Structure 1
């Protein structure tokens, strides 16, 4: 009798503690609390989770065997199941559904494509996909198309100009609430594409336009040591992503948008068994959007950090002197809009915001200058791509906003000035030479 009870206990424990280690499920299978999917190399794990003292159930993806657990994606982030008996199933049509304890549908993938033999699989990239057949590479649905607050290697932030879908990161609402929060990390497609982080509809900060390597305000040389970035820009849409340069060594990397709207790029250190922050924004006051107002330049190494561009003066001098730079700067002298105008070159710059810019990626820098001179509203120009000596034309019109000195390398921009400022520039140059050699 005692042996029979022990046998029954073993059977009971095995049945209720069984946790699937497969990376796939089919329509004949389901996942419930304490059961998980594990990617084939054991990098990622997917399953239900909750927060302390909460009955809310979420289905998410996290890095396996890393503590504390970091959730990188949540399916039902805005609609949690309210009990611990939630269930995830794959329908015969290829839809992923989450059911609550009463069988009510809490969340569905709502795929627009129908599968013949659907399979749900967690990939080693952290991408949860529905395939048509076990060996198929034809994804009918994938979690990478629905980003949360985490940007993983292999994921793409995309904008389709034809059909409209627009993919971007959104912060969590709170540490124990993954619902969509107030901050977004996105590619702004108005004008020339730039990366911005917004608070609601307001730009909080920008890392600038794409320059051929990375976004203008980012240390692209440092990032390219271990990551390979891609940016596809056509008349149909935009796609931006990254991959690790050596995936066999570097397998865990991510960019997180936190609750305060800051972004942090992490790399996992096997040696220290911890996450290293290799890049974060904002890093200083100059990164906050339009800190110095219009027609100015921000430099954290100066005191004060804000300075009007050459040819400009503070709009409100008293406020400017008290370090209220929000009014920005205005021209001392109007542009002549003829051959008397010229351009001042600034180097080592994070380019200004580009939402109202114009561009042509086939023009040379000389052609760019000529185009700018022909339009009286054009106030600055630069190369749109700095690779291989520079190419392409990027034009700014009217006020220049959110320009700063780069923390690392930066690039060149040419700002337009009237003829009267050329005289001032020459006089200053001659004075400097006189002082130098006297």
Structure 2
């Protein structure tokens, strides 16, 4: 009996030691990994407030394995970030590890298939999943948000979460932009990208490959002029930050009981979805693209689109179709030309067009401190200047935005459009 008891005690001791050893090196259900700890397929880490989980996952009908982050409290796993988008694992033997230098790596056996590529070593690195959905690497003794060594919010996929900065860190040169998945089953980068174009007056643009596909319009101090359906409300609020250090768009959820995510899907649709505990399902909140008039440059130069008119495209006052024959067949791409050429002499003036989504601003110039009268005088002095408008519609309008090329991609929106002086 004593021998049997000794064997039993020894077996118990071995089990405890094995469990203790594994707990040092493989973590499940905590919110972080420390140096040389690992996360195996089937284990997860959970953000402190229980909003997000991180682990290995297979999106859609795929059998490939990826390290991803998803909303925890939703019934269907809504994936918001994937590390190894272009390097999937074909087995469930993958390992996620934080090495002693502070780099997060995904291993397939002894082969590194993905790395966070952090180059500067720290003494006590830790990788932590925050309740915002951001995965951060930091020094264990430094919780400062400005001192993150690496963060997933700097390497986004197809999802924009509340608090995420879509745009540029002008000091480091980091650009944060969205890129679509190939399909619901394949998170590899697809055809579409959504980012802030810094040329001229900054604006959000959606590209399909290298071609411009959709433009929400320039920021007017209140919202992006081309997406009046996305105004801040009781559910969420947003802002556009532009200074010497940063240039970005971000939004925040006002009601903490609502989960929100904005997705650039594989077809190029920019959709915002909300999850409420009452409905227990994802509901489409709004889509940035509303109708045919949101197709970039549908009506060509100096043409304006009005979805409530038939045909939708029309030339601005003082302009006529460049090709009347093409215009009659609803081929508007060549746009419109002036009925009377400018003389660039005394007597030239401006026609005010109200209720317009402002034109594409890549070849533009702006000064946020100028008055609208000064803006007019500057435009008149330059023969290349084609139009001007305020950069900010608040308080009756302020700032100066000048165009120096053909005016492209305008649409009518009487309630939320701006005044454009051509």
| 1:77 partnered with 2:85 | yes
CA–CA distance in structure 2, aligned partners of residues 343 and 221 of structure 1? 31
Task: Determine if contact 1:228/1:245 at 8 Å carries over to the other structure.
Answer: yes
- The residue that corresponds to 1:176 in the other structure is 185
CA–CA distance in structure 1, aligned partners of residues 152 and 39 of structure 2? 17
CA–CA distance in structure 1, aligned partners of residues 253 and 266 of structure 2? 26
Alignment gaps of 5+ in structure 1: 416-438
Task: Determine if contact 1:55/1:84 at 8 Å carries over to the other structure.
Answer: no
CA–CA distance in structure 1, aligned partners of residues 121 and 307 of structure 2? 55
- The residue that corresponds to 1:351 in the other structure is 358
- The residue that corresponds to 2:326 in the other structure is 319
Q: 1:54 to 1:325 in 2, by over 3 A?
A: closer
1:206 pairs with one of 215, 222, 228: 215
* TM-score, length-scaled by structure 2: 0.90
Task: Determine if contact 1:291/1:402 at 8 Å carries over to the other structure.
Answer: yes
CA–CA distance in structure 1, aligned partners of residues 75 and 414 of structure 2? 33
Deviates most, 237-246 or 35-44 = 237-246
Aligned residues: 404
| 1:309 partnered with 2:297 | no
* TM-score, length-scaled by structure 1: 0.87
CA–CA distance in structure 1, aligned partners of residues 202 and 80 of structure 2? 26
- The residue that corresponds to 1:377 in the other structure is 384
2:339 pairs with one of 332, 335, 338: 332
Task: Determine if contact 1:265/1:278 at 8 Å carries over to the other structure.
Answer: yes
- The residue that corresponds to 1:363 in the other structure is 370
SS of match in other structure, 1:342 = coil
- The residue that corresponds to 2:150 in the other structure is 141
CA–CA distance in structure 1, aligned partners of residues 151 and 415 of structure 2? 37
| 1:216 partnered with 2:225 | yes
CA–CA distance in structure 2, aligned partners of residues 221 and 98 of structure 1? 38
- CA-atom RMSD in angstroms: 2.4
- The residue that corresponds to 2:52 in the other structure is 44
SS of match in other structure, 2:166 = strand
Task: Determine if contact 1:125/1:153 at 8 Å carries over to the other structure.
Answer: yes
| 1:117 partnered with 2:119 | no
Deviates most, 336-345 or 86-95 = 336-345
| 1:244 partnered with 2:246 | no
The aligned runs of 1:237-316 (5 Å cut-off) are: 237-246=246-255, 248-250=256-258, 252-316=259-323
Per-residue CA deviations over 1:158-188 (Å, capped at 9, x if unaligned) read 3244543222100001211111111001111
2:67 pairs with one of 59, 63, 77: 59
Per-residue CA deviations over 1:73-119 (Å, capped at 9, x if unaligned) read 0001011122210000011111100001x221010001133222111
What displacement does 1:54 show? 4.8
What displacement does 1:281 show? 2.5
Deviates most, 343-352 or 306-315 = 343-352
Alignment gaps of 5+ in structure 2: none
Deviates most, 26-35 or 284-293 = 26-35
What displacement does 1:295 show? 0.5
1:31 pairs with one of 35, 39, 42: 39
- The residue that corresponds to 1:96 in the other structure is 104
Q: 1:274 to 1:125 in 2, by over 3 A?
A: same
Per-residue CA deviations over 1:29-49 (Å, capped at 9, x if unaligned) read 211111011111111111001
Task: Determine if contact 1:115/1:140 at 8 Å carries over to the other structure.
Answer: no
SS of match in other structure, 1:208 = coil
Deviates most, 213-222 or 87-96 = 213-222
Deviates most, 105-114 or 257-266 = 105-114
The aligned runs of 1:156-171 (5 Å cut-off) are: 156-161=165-170, 163-171=172-180
